[in-house]
Amino acid sequence: MNIKLNLEDILTNFINKDKQYTIPIFIPHKGCPNNCVFCNQKKISGQINDVSLKEVEDKIQQFLSYYTNDRKIEIAFFGGSFTGIDINSQIEYLKIANKYIKNGKVDSIRISTRPDYINDEILKMLKDYGVETIELGVQSMDDEVLRASKRGHTKQDVIDASKLITKYNFRLGHQIMVGLPLSTLDKEVYTIKECLKLNPKQLRIYPVYVIEDSELYDMYKDGRYTPLSIEETVKRCEKIIEQCQKSDVAIIRLGLQSTEDITVSNSNIFGPVSDNLAEYVLAGIVRNSIEEKIEKNLTGEELVIYVPKKYVSICVGPKKINKIYFESKYNLKYIVKGES
């Protein structure tokens, strides 16, 4: 049996339509009054130094010197809750970024923050300095999960903040987490459905990792929290993405970015730690799509999938999981052919 797959359709939420460069500026949130159970920023805050204005300026200059073509360039303030830090510090950071917007070297500014740190006054200030995108740490739309995670905000805060951000014509982004305490597959599907009603333009999906020096670590150690397996995480992400396929939201991250500290080789991080979660999830989405198209009694033949060359590895899957799946389930030869 031969199948020609139009993966652009299936993976539409992952296709980056406006490719851009990002200049990442990490702003540690030393004064964060919250106590999210999965966060270790508070306990390690003594080890994090404030980012000086000179460091911000140097970083922007450094990144600009790398870029040679004419892609869009965005300065992204991330790592905490930007609008929760002292207002004067926010303005100082934004003034620097805004200078590069004015001289035409940078196109946009993005910040990430909490839903309860958004109001008219803050949004007017962000507008004045040229911020284009605001990403909200939603994490869950289930109040019980938010409480168990000690997020300190409610579902209603997310709704109010998202509506206000859209009203002020910012580009809205949401971040959600998979595997929070008391969360379930159903609650995560509910979360994405509720998020999509607010029409975010971009989405990040993060699995919950248990990091030493966090409250979640204590909960894990005394059995009050069990992290998800990688398999369960992949399954939940697939279900979340199924919902996204009904919308135009761009999924700009799936899984945590590996850093020196957050990696499978760090034995002090527990849970569904994977350097290539997205590859497993994408392979699963493609597998489900192929399975929908094949005849139920297909067996003992060749299953040949034709896809554009760049998608061959997704169709085969990491560690050839899709090839192994189809060949063992249907007793056939699974062949993926890349077309130019």
Question: Which one, 45 or 313, has the nearer CB to ligand SF4?
Answer: 45
Q: Whole-number minimum distance, CB 32 to ligand SF4, in Å?
A: 3
Q: How far is the CB of 203 from ligand SF4 (least distance, A)?
A: 18
Q: Are 154 and 185 in contact (CB under 8 A)?
A: no
**Residue 41 or 90 having the CB closest to ligand SF4:** 41
Judged by CB, which is closer to ligand SF4: 82, or 330? 82
Q: Pairing mode, if any, of strands 108-113 and 131-139? A: parallel
**Residue 66 in contact with residue 12, Cβ under 8 Å?**
no
Q: What is the DSSP string of 74-111?
A: EEEEESS-GGGS-HHHHHHHHHHHHHHHHTTS--EEEE
User: Can you tell me the distance from the alpha carbon of 212 to that of 204, in angstroms, rounded to the nearest whole number?
Assistant: 23
Q: In this structure, what is the dihedral angle of CA atoms 141, 146, 148, 150, given to the nearest 10 degrees?
A: 170
Whole-angstrom distance, CA of residue 136 vs CA of residue 204: 10
Kindly tell me which of 30 and 99 has the beta carbon lying closer to ligand SF4: 30
Query: What are the residues binding ligand SF4 (CB under 6 A)?
Result: 29, 32, 34-36, 39, 41-42, 80-81, 114
- Whose Cβ is closer to ligand SF4: residue 130's or residue 137's? 137
Q: Which residues of 76-113 are buried (b: 16+ CB within 10 A; e: fewer)?
A: bbebbbbbbbeeeebeebbebbbebbeeeebbbbbbbb
Q: In this complex, which beta carbon is closest to ligand SF4, that of residue 74 or of residue 215?
A: 215
The size of the chain, in residues, is 340
Q: Which amino acid is at 336?
A: V
Give me the least distance between CB of 30 and ligand SF4, in Å please: 9
